[in-house]
Copies of this chain bind each other. A is one copy, B any other.
Amino acid sequence: MMKPLRVGIAGLGTVGGGVIKLLAQQAELITTRAGRPITVTAVSARDRTRDRGISLEGLNWHNNPLSLASDPDVDVVVELIGGSDGPAKALAEAALKAGRPLVTANKALLALHGVPLAEAAEQAGVALAYEAAVAGGIPVIKVLREGLAANRISRVAGILNGTCNYILTTMREEKRDFADVLADAQALGYAEADPSFDIDGVDAAHKLAILAGLAFGQKIDFSALHIEGIRRISALDIAFAQELGYRIKLLGIAEHTEAGISLRVHPAMVPVQKPIATVDGVFNAVLLEGDFSGPVFLQGRGAGEGPTASAVVADIIDIARNVQIPVWGTATRNLEEARVVPIARHEGAYFIRLSVVDQPGVLADVTAILRDHGISLESMLQHGRAPGEAVPIVLVTHETREDAVSTALARISALEAVLEQPALIRIEPK
């Protein structure tokens, strides 16, 4: 029997507890698969006394997570503290500097500091693994970094945030409004008390930045991502989507185009017959387009104790098996600077919903503005009549450029008969 791989875990929240449970419950199975036992020897968390339903007896306890990096009983450091900076970053740096492989579930850390951390890992000659940072139980990092390594990837599109997908699915199924469903999701524990990271698209954007860096071999500047969340999606938009044969999903999309790469997180209208449109509830999904493989579609649980622990332990097993893949799929010296195409130059079709006063001439004014900006319509929907009152009008454009649509919408919003800020949702794929 080979000697055990000794693991030190920083952060004993849901995921940390899950990792300890998994390693205990599947100890025998994992020993045969990894070729050696994997044992937790040290932990660090804020509160030593909290009952986590797991035994911490016999483990080295560190009040300061940083000291895990130098614990002589630790071969691999697992960072589950979270947050892009602070103790998580300090521990990651200390572990790599000490020549210890690092496993992390921290998407913010990787999205914001992934390249310097990769350089540190290269210098130390150790693994930096982060399967759990993106899409939980779906091994999408492995699929991209290894399984599709022979391919030039042209596009990555995914449902990367389960909270948003749960809210959008519930809004559709129960015909309810955003605020109402969000409140329920918070009560059920599917959304945080401060839900902004999820519902404003930041969490999905962190994951997208990681996938894009890996897919394209580029250094991604996180501030270059276009990020919109789902706060402005209304029950009305969802009903119209249904009528037009679409589902509204919060997508993260990274595309390689001739002009550069496009990086955006926003609600999108997805045709119902596309696999990604059928992904409901808390599930995540990712579609990867490789030039030789063709489309590869992955779906599974994107969060939660079990799926995230599954990903963390897969990374630890890789380390036990001496698997060491370049952090970004290639040595950091090969990474290119990303040339990001601004959203204003996005080309695609658009769903536009206006709230207008039902009176003669409104539609003529709206369509004249669209014509002035070279925007042609594929379809138009107006239901019912209510002379003198507010009615919704839905316009679906042919493919056009985003800056043209923005300018036209600003002019349309200024029309007296247009009552609210128009809703604008991109149609994907175009």
Footprint of B on A, CB under 8 Å?
Answer: 18, 22, 26, 29-30, 32-35, 131, 137-139, 142-143, 146-152, 217, 275, 278, 290-301, 304, 306-307, 309-311, 313-314, 317-318, 321-326, 329-331, 334
Q: Say yes or no: B323 contacts A146, CB within 8 Å.
A: yes
Query: Given A151-B310, A314-B150 in contact, is the A296-B299 Cβ separation under 8 Å?
Result: yes
The 6 closest A-B pairs by CB, nearest first: A139-B147, A150-B313, A137-B293, A293-B310, A292-B310, A292-B306
Smallest Cβ-Cβ distance to A317: which chain B residue:
B149
CA–CA, A35 and B325, complex, Å: 10
Query: Given A146-B142, A310-B293 in contact, is the A29-B152 Cβ separation under 8 Å?
Result: yes
* Residue among A29, A131, A301 with the highest chain B CB neighbour number at 10 A: A29
List the B side residues contacting A278 at CB < 8 Å: 275, 278
Q: Could you list 9 further interchain pairs (A-B, Cβ under 8 angstroms) beyond the known A139-B296, A146-B318, A293-B306?
A: A26-B151, A33-B149, A35-B331, A137-B290, A139-B142, A142-B146, A147-B314, A293-B307, A298-B298
Q: Say yes or no: A294 contacts B137, CB within 8 Å.
A: yes
List the B side residues contacting A330 at CB < 8 Å: 32-33
List the B side residues contacting A139 at CB < 8 Å: 142-143, 146-148, 296
CA–CA, A139 and B330, complex, Å: 19
Smallest Cβ-Cβ distance to A323: which chain B residue:
B323
CA–CA, A306 and B292, complex, Å: 4
A136 shortest CB reach to chain B, Å = 8
Query: Given A22-B292, A33-B330, A217-B32 in contact, is the A131-B152 Cβ separation under 8 Å?
Result: no
A285 shortest CB reach to chain B, Å = 8
Q: Say yes or no: A296 contacts B293, CB within 8 Å.
A: no
Supply 16 A–B pairs (Cβ within 8 Å), ascending by A: A26-B151, A33-B330, A35-B331, A131-B147, A137-B290, A137-B293, A139-B148, A143-B143, A146-B146, A149-B314, A292-B309, A294-B307, A296-B298, A297-B298, A298-B298, A321-B325
Q: Contacting A22 at CB < 8 Å: which of B35, B142, B150, B318?
A: B150
A338 shortest CB reach to chain B, Å = 16
Q: Say yes or no: A294 contacts B299, CB within 8 Å.
A: no
Q: Say yes or no: A300 contacts B310, CB within 8 Å.
A: no
CA–CA, A278 and B292, complex, Å: 23
Q: Contacting A32 at CB < 8 Å: which of B291, B306, B334?
A: B334
Q: Say yes or no: A35 contacts B326, CB within 8 Å.
A: yes
CA–CA, A125 and B290, complex, Å: 32
Smallest Cβ-Cβ distance to A316: which chain B residue:
B150
Smallest Cβ-Cβ distance to A217: which chain B residue:
B32
List the B side residues contacting A290 at CB < 8 Å: 137, 310
Smallest Cβ-Cβ distance to A30: which chain B residue:
B150
Query: Given A26-B150, A146-B142 in contact, is the A33-B329 Cβ separation under 8 Å?
Result: yes
Q: Say yes or no: B297 contacts A300, CB within 8 Å.
A: yes
Smallest Cβ-Cβ distance to A141: which chain B residue:
B147
CA–CA, A297 and B138, complex, Å: 8
List the B side residues contacting A26 at CB < 8 Å: 150-152
A239 shortest CB reach to chain B, Å = 21
CA–CA, A307 and B137, complex, Å: 24
List the B side residues contacting A297 at CB < 8 Å: 297-300
List the B side residues contacting A217 at CB < 8 Å: 29, 32-33
